[in-house]
Amino acid sequence: MSATSATLGRTPPRRRSLLRQAMPGIAWWAICGLVALMFLFPLAMVVLTVLKTSSEAAATPPHYLPQHLSGQNFRALSNADIWKYVINSAGVALGTVVGTVIVATLAGYGFARYRFPGRTLLFLGSLMTLMVPFQALLTPLYSVLVFLHLANSLIGLTLVYITFQLPFSLFVMRNAFAEIPQEIEDAAAMDGASTLATLRRVMVPVAKPAVVTVALFAFFSAWNEFLAALIFLSDQSRYTLPVFLTTLVTGKLGAINWGLLEAGVVVTIVPCLVIFLLLQRYYVRGLMSGAVR
Amino acid sequence: MSEIALKGLTKRFDDGTLAVEDLNLEIGDGELMILVGPSGCGKTTALRMIAGLEEISDGELWIDGELVNDFPPKHRDIAMVFQNYALYPHMTVRQNMSFGLEQAKVDKDEIARKVKETAEILDLTEHLDRRPGQLSGGQRQRVAMGRAIVRDPKAFLMDEPLSNLDAKLRTQMRTELARIQNQLGTTTVYVTHDQIEAMTLGDRVAVMRRGILQQVASPRELYEQPANLFVAGFMGSPAINLLTAQVESDTLRSPLGDVALDRRLRDALEHGDRTDRVIIGLRPEHLQDAALTERMPDGTVTFSGEVSVLEAMGAEYYAHFDLGDQTSVSEAIDPSHDAEGDPVGRRHGNDLVARLPINSDVHEGNSIKLWFEPGHLHVFDPESGRRLTEAKA
């Protein structure tokens, strides 16, 4: 056994060194730079377009760099009352985060630690919902929301988002809790902590990377989601940001106001970027949980 | 401080496995009781039942005169030190030690005072604001101890607390642990599979095998008067030499030579189930180098053997002799055939080992003359494994 793991342990560095021999450092930089460019170019174009005037943004052939810096697009967005929709989106996203984290934490802990009949079946059942296309469930969910008098409401939309986030979140939280040694929980029990105190003061803090991962995923998906919001919300004052943006972009004769659209995209991207950069170290650890012992 | 009494304690798991069977044990106030045995012998399960972390299938558990079978861990007022320390990784040393007291709603100033005092005892004062991940193995072990001590519980339960330390630190912490337990005088149940820990730490040692208690006695008594073959083989390193011997009228014919049956041996044979064959046990230190002995006592048995393997241990030699197949001890009672991870010296039945002083003129492949006093022989029943003799120390 030890001989096997020793051999496995030695293989990757040998392969790396062979690759390094075959390709000089500068080639690595070139490849990595190219990949980064592929991802960053669209983002750069968004930002540059925002800074152009409407006519310059619509020019053919397009200019890559703005000839006159303009704040006109942001002013137009502000005049269109974008902050109301930002607040709608933020409310839905935060509600989704809180709801998902609470339910996934409690359920994940239950699946990880308690033995009860049908445990595996229930867990697999909840994971199987990941395989059903999101769009296929929209109509039945709409019926449920109408029945609950929650159609065309942000609370209803939040509940729908929580529902869709749960299978993945449950999977992450269950793995994170299962990975915590039983002795830590036993130690808390010996220290006189109740189950709830153990969960709140020991298990959740230890599983913080997983909690952050679940929260980030919930936030991103709720913040960016378009289709369900478009279907479930009919009152424009309740629109979320992605839906609101569609009402803005169309100009005269169906022409797209690119500058305004990209300004809306920037407003949408910024919170995601800030949150991701602040929490990315937890996020990576959360995704890795269970992968390596 | 308190007494702990286990009366017929039994643990049967859902799959029917009997982990602990009818365990009866009384642990006195302030006593350090060691539960020792190979992996899978039920010692940790027994400890977890005392802790309240494992449900008791049958029997009674009394702590401080109170039947606590149905008490959850927090109502038993006992603290536990785990094998992997089980420290809360997100808390500092101070928070780790305070946690139990906070749960008991102890006043904040009182918590601070107790944590400070305990940290001083364990030399942890300068590490109080560090997290477990920033500490060495030995320091983590001390924090785990501190978390138990700070609560001033009725009893400590320790589940192989030194097994994750390297050999040198383990020895150091063993001494430290003995000092602290002595200083606090708290009743302690200590689980280990390491017989050296058991021998050096325990006031008394309970040896377990396959869920059944084999013997409870002081370390010295266990070593000198083992109840059966298993205990004899488990306690002592290198392990006791176990050899089969035939009884012929007034003589015990062993691979080491003929031993005249004296009164002690004759009495022993009368208590056995068989009169024709027994298993004899002889500790490696009771085999002496004839070349270093000026005058052998009367009635000694001498024999010569070729040294097959010689281990120089610094202060002494372990000399191994190959005796052939004739002497193997049956698998059913040979302690070296226990569960995996069994620390019993894995000596074959045909191997004999002697502990010889470093000034012995002994070399691999050479023949050497050894002797022993028959009074040191243990005689065991070959069927039940029971010890039949009262051995001379």
At residue B262, does pLDDT exceed 90?
Answer: no
Please tell me whether residues A284 and A211 are part of one structural domain: yes
Both structure tokens of B34 = 């060691």
Please tell me whether residues A46 and A128 are part of one structural domain: no
pLDDT in tens, B3-37: 999 999 999 999 999 999 999 999 999 999 999 99
Domain spans of chain B?
Answer: 4-224, 239-380
Please tell me whether residues A223 and A262 are part of one structural domain: yes
Per the CB < 8 Å rule, is A192 touching B82?
A: no
B53, B83, B100 ranked by CB distance to A191: nearest = B100
Crossing angle (nearest 10°) for helices B137-149 and B108-121? 130
pLDDT cut 90: percent of chain B above it = 58
Pick from B315, B28, B50, B83: which is nearest to B197 by CA?
B83
At residue B337, does pLDDT exceed 80?
Answer: no
Higher local confidence (pLDDT), B159 or B325: B159
- Calpha distance B277→B258 (Å, rounded): 14
Residues of chain A where predicted confidence (pLDDT) is lower than 50: 1-12, 290-293
pLDDT in tens, B28-86: 999 999 999 998 899 999 999 999 999 999 999 999 999 999 999 999 999 999 988 99
Please tell me whether residues A61 and A165 are part of one structural domain: no
Please tell me whether residues A156 and A250 are part of one structural domain: yes
Q: What is the dihedral of CA A228, A231, A235, A236, to 10 degrees?
A: 70
Which chain B positions have a beta carbon within 8 Å of A188's beta carbon? 88, 99
Which chain A positions have a beta carbon within 8 Å of B100's beta carbon? 190-192
Q: For residues B83 and B162, is the Cβ–Cβ distance under 8 A?
A: no
Task: Name residue A99's amino acid.
Answer: G
Crossing angle (nearest 10°) for helices A241-249 and A258-288? 160
Q: What is the pLDDT of residue B342?
A: 39
Please tell me whether residues A90 and A58 are part of one structural domain: no
How many Cα atoms sit within 13 Å of A56 on the Cβ side?
Answer: 17
Q: Give the DSSP letter string of B109-132.
A: HHHHHHHHHHHHHTT-GGGTTS-G
Boundaries of domain holding A155 = 80-288
Check CB contact of A189 with chain B, cutoff 8 Å: yes
Q: For residues B388 and B273, is the Cβ–Cβ distance under 8 A?
A: no
Both structure tokens of B68 = 């606590």
Distance of CA B365 to the CA centre of its chain: 34
Per the CB < 8 Å rule, is A205 touching B90?
A: yes
Q: Is residue A13 part of a domain?
A: no
Q: Is residue A250 part of a domain?
A: yes
pLDDT, mean of residues B298-316: 91
Please tell me whether residues A261 and A277 are part of one structural domain: yes
Angstrom CA distances, A64 to A34, A46, A146, A279, B101, stand at 19, 10, 48, 33, 65
Please tell me whether residues A180 and A93 are part of one structural domain: yes
Looking at CATH, the fold of the domain delimited by B4-224 is given as: Rossmann fold (3.40.50)
Q: Is residue A12 part of a domain?
A: no
Domain B239-380: give its CATH code: 2.40.50.140
Distance between A14 CA and the closest CA of chain B, angstroms: 31
A184, A192, A205 ranked by CB distance to B103: nearest = A192
Q: Is residue A208 part of a domain?
A: yes
Per the CB < 8 Å rule, is B100 touching A192?
A: yes
Q: Is residue A282 part of a domain?
A: yes
At residue B313, does pLDDT exceed 60?
Answer: yes
Q: What is the pLDDT of residue A13?
A: 52
Check CB contact of A180 with chain B, cutoff 8 Å: no
State residue B351 phi and psi, 5-degree precision. Answer: -110, 135
Number of domains in chain A: 2
pLDDT, mean of residues B351-359: 92
Least confident piece of the model among A55-59, A130-134, B151-155, B340-344: B340-344
Please tell me whether residues A271 and A146 are part of one structural domain: yes
Which chain B positions have a beta carbon within 8 Å of A187's beta carbon? 80, 82, 86-88, 147
Please tell me whether residues A39 and A170 are part of one structural domain: no
Q: Is residue A284 part of a domain?
A: yes
Q: Is residue A180 part of a domain?
A: yes
- What CATH code is carried by the domain that includes residue A205? 1.10.3720.10
Q: What is the pLDDT of residue B176?
A: 86
- Calpha distance A34→A24 (Å, rounded): 16
Q: Hunting for tokens 């500490």 — which residue is that?
A: B135
Q: Is residue A3 part of a domain?
A: no
Please tell me whether residues A58 and A174 are part of one structural domain: no
pLDDT in tens, B196-242: 899 999 999 999 999 999 999 999 999 999 999 999 999 988 999 99
Q: What is the pLDDT of residue A122?
A: 92
First and final C-alpha spacing in chain B: 35
Helix H or strand E segment including B155:
strand B155-159
| Mean pLDDT of chain B, nearest integer | 87
B328: which DSSP letter? P
Please tell me whether residues A96 and A197 are part of one structural domain: yes
Q: What is the pLDDT of residue A19?
A: 66
